[in-house]
Amino acid sequence: MSKKVYADAKSALDGLLHDGMTILAGGFGLCGIPEHMILAVRDSGVKDLTIASNNAGVDDFGLGLLLQTRQVKKMISSYVGENKTFEAQFLAGELELEFNPQGTLAERCRAGGAGIPAFYTKTGVGAIIAEGKETKEFDGQTYVMERGLTGDLAIIKAWKGDKAGNVVFRKTARNFNAPMATAGKVCVVEVEELVEPGELEPDGIHLPSIYTHRIFQGQDFEKRIEFRTVSEA
Amino acid sequence: MAWTRDEMCARAAQELEDGFYVNLGIGMPTKVANFIPDGMDVNFQSENGMLGMGSFPTDNEVDADLINAGKQTITETPKSVYFDSAQSFAMIRGGHINMSILGALQVAENGDLANWMIPGKMVKGMGGAMDLVAGVKRVVILMDHNAKDGSAKLLKECNLPLTGAGVVDDIITELGLFRIGEGGVHIQELAPDVSVDEVRERSEATIVTQ
């Protein structure tokens, strides 16, 4: 039995949580979020968290649950539009917010995970998010420097994983999960199906096991849909 | 007769070309996908990690793992491919996407764009808009010509926080198609019975005729 395999979210996060830590949380909207680990973080009572996540969940699901319990000190996100709790706490000055353009947030994680401390991008040049940041000209164009991002912990949701820690995502639930997994000092992955090594096609693995420190199979995923849009059959 | 919203979307769709990779913004731009000319093959990118986006699913096709950038359920097509957010924005920032069609709060005659924030009101965030306008080859704005209070949105300078500086190529409103160019905003095409005077009255930007 691999030492990476844990029984559930609570045991998989045991010893990893502390006040004031930075957590990278995968997902886009409510798609591909580590719903079991978010609940376990809430139940642990850990506080003053800085959470990097593209969105902040909705009021009663996803990261919105950690806002309700006021465990979050700061969010690093690109879009927080679907959450009234967030709005109330932000306007009351109880919650810090660092907006990152979505591609900048993704690249900060990719860079952080690849040992790259900073990079230059055209995104945000001329906008308030570039104020106070170093700029540089390359080939006659202005670029702004952005820092690589790492976190104390990455909480990641995937479809299938093997007991060695190799991971496959499903459809658009991959999103930030892959780059954030590489940028956590410790990365814990929750999967819908945990299989034996050898059962996943080596050529089809999205996240190599080296990035996965702990893995567990979640039970009864809710996988809530934010906007159910359908067409006539 | 100014263009209806459907006519605006149809006009925007005529700017697409066969084989284009295109990113559509949330709201009215999403509807441009309904007006692709027959026989034209266009690949839609959804910045949450998909190329070859399909239409909305039927009730029994709904899949929580398959959404667009507006968090709506969608479907895949035979050409679909999925990837992570870093790869998605490498496509966008690397100049591989041919066109992006986006909404706007304000556009200035130098191509500056404001579409993500109104100070003093709740700020939702820029999402992928800053990356798209910085990296995509051609940026087309699809918007109402005036704000709800009647004020001009086509301005000499934006007074809202910018999404990008000098990034807009074309603007489609109910009055016509306009292009950012030398000396201001150039009229490329007017909707039926819309006059240059009406465009000037309803804009603050310098309007240039051919």
What ipTM was assigned to the predicted interfaces of this complex? 0.97
Using the beta-carbon criterion (under 8 Å), do A91 and B58 form an inter-chain contact?
A: no
Q: Please check whether residue B150 is in contact with residue B100, taking contact to mean a CB–CB distance below 8 angstroms.
A: no
SS3 A39: helix
Q: What is the DSSP string of B146-208?
A: B-TTS-BSEESS--SPPSBSS---EEEETTEEEEEETTEEEEEEE-TT--HHHHHHT--SPEE
A182-214 b/e (C-beta count within 10 Å ≥ 16 → b): bbbeebbbbbbebeeeeebeeeebbbebebbbb
- pLDDT score, position A137: 98
**Residues A121, A208, A117: CA angle, nearest 5 degrees:** 30
Query: Which of B120, B115, B95, B93 has its CA nearest to residue B105?
Result: B115
Taking only residues 8 to 37 of chain B, the set having a beta carbon closer than 8 angstroms to any beta carbon of chain A reads: none
CB-based burial of residue B152 (10 Å sphere; 0-12 exposed, 13-18 middle, 19+ buried)?
Answer: middle
Chain B neighbors of A172, CB-CB under 8 A: 46, 48-50, 65-68, 82
CB contact under 8 A, A230 and B73: yes
Of the listed B15, B17, B47, B61, which one is catalytic? B47
Quick one: pLDDT band at residue B122, thresholds 50, 70, 90?
low
Our count of domains for chain A comes to: 1
Q: Which one, of A59, A30, A23, A29, lies nearest residue A44 by Cα?
A: A23
Total length of chain B: 210
B24/A68 Cα distance (integer angstroms): 33
User: Is A127–B161 a contact, with Cβ atoms under 8 angstroms apart?
Assistant: yes
User: Does position B26 have pLDDT exceeding 60, yes or no?
Assistant: yes
User: Which positions ≥6 away from A131 have C-beta within 8 Å?
Assistant: none
Domain-embedded: residue A4? no
Q: Is position A45 within any domain?
A: yes
pLDDT of residue A84: 86
Q: Is residue A139 situated within a structural domain? A: no
Q: Which of A80, A126, A61 is nearest to B122 (CA)?
A: A80
Across the interface, which of B63, B88, B124 has its CB nearest the CB of A79?
B124
* Separation of alpha carbons A5 and B131, rounded Å: 38
Residue A227 with chain B: CB contacts under 8 Å = 67, 70-73
What is the predicted pLDDT for the residue at A233?
63
Contact (CB, 8 A) for B24 and B32: yes
Distance from the A220 Cα atom to the nearest Cα atom in chain B, whole angstroms:
14
Q: How many Å apart are CA B114 and CA B130, to the nearest integer?
A: 10
Mutate to test the interface with B, among A86, A89, A91, A123 (most CBs of B within 10 A): A123
Q: A109 is written with which tokens?
A: 């994680």
Q: Which residues from chain A sit within 8 angstroms of residue B58, using beta carbons?
A: 230-233
Q: Which domain holds residue A157?
A: 9-116+149-217
pLDDT-above-90 percentage for chain B: 94
CA-to-CA distance for A167 and A175, rounded, in angstroms?
14
pTM (2 d.p.):
0.97
In-domain check, residue A192: yes
Tell me which residue in A29, A79, A176 faces B85 most closely, judged by beta carbons.
A176
Scored b (16 or more CB within 10 A) or e, B13-30 reads bebbeeebbbbbbbebbb
Residue A128 located in a structural domain: no
pLDDT by residue for chain A (233 residues), tens only, comes to 579 999 999 999 999 999 999 999 999 999 999 999 999 999 999 999 999 999 999 999 999 999 999 999 999 999 998 788 888 898 889 999 999 999 999 999 999 999 999 999 999 999 999 999 999 999 999 999 999 999 999 999 999 999 999 999 999 999 999 999 999 999 999 999 999 999 999 999 999 999 999 999 999 999 999 999 999 76
Binary contact (A102, B63; C-beta < 8 A): no
A58 in a structural domain: yes
- Whether residue B103 is predicted with pLDDT greater than 60 in this model: the reply is yes
The burial class, CB within 10 Å (0-12 / 13-18 / 19+), for A92 is exposed
Q: Tell me, yes or no, if B157 is annotated catalytic.
A: no
CATH number at residue A97: 3.40.1080.10
Query: In angstroms, rounded to a whole number, what is the distance separating the alpha carbons of residues A49 and A53?
Result: 12
The answer to whether residue A3 sits within a structural domain is: no
Is A1 part of a structural domain of the chain? Answer: no
Question: What pairing do the DSSP bridges indicate for beta strands A96-99 and A135-138?
Answer: unpaired
- Interchain contact, A126 vs B93, CB within 8 Å: no
Query: Would you state the pLDDT for residue A74?
Result: 98
Residue A55 is predicted with a pLDDT of 96
Q: How many CB atoms lie within 10 A of CB A3?
A: 8
Using only C-alpha atoms, what is the Rg of chain A? 18
Q: Could you count the other beta carbons within 10 Å of the beta carbon of residue A18?
A: 13
In order, the DSSP letters of A1-17 are --TTB-SSHHHHTTTT-
